Amino acid sequence: MGDHIRSRRLDLNLLQSQVAEQIGVDKTTVHNWESNESAPAIRYIPAILRLLGYDPHPSLDSFPDRLGTVRRTPQRKMADKLGIDPGTLQSWEAGTHQHTWKSLEIIGRILQRREG
């Protein structure tokens, strides 16, 4: 969600403090969301959706959608755990780069460790 907020804020040429005022939080909260240090509380979702103009939650039908949903850490940290470049992970999630079976095995092992 933080990536969506940041992208929309930049598209609208707004400061974090301006977005914070629209949503009803302080600018530090917006900063934490944008850097994926924290996730918005449910009560802020309606205001965030109004800001974005769309619902960023994926349908979970495709591999990129499922990967982006299960990844709860910033892309850079997840990429480090997977031993890949962050751009590769980003392209997997965007659906612009095809993953390999070997990469699926690595992702599966990482996710199993997180659940265990």
Q: How much is the average pLDDT of 43-61? A: 79
At residue 12, what are phi and psi to the nearest 5 degrees? -85, 0
User: Which domains can be identified in the chain, with CATH numbers?
Assistant: 2-52 (1.10.260.40), 63-115 (1.10.260)
pTM: 0.51
Question: Hunting for tokens 């974005």 — which residue is that?
Answer: 52
Q: What is the pLDDT of residues 55-90, one digit of tens each?
A: 776 555 666 666 665 566 677 777 787 778 888 877
Ranges 31-40, 41-50, 97-106: which has the least confidence: 97-106
Residue pair 6/36 in contact (Cβ under 8 Å)? The answer is: no
d(CA 27, CA 73): 21
Q: Determine the 3-state secondary structure of 70 from DSSP.
A: helix
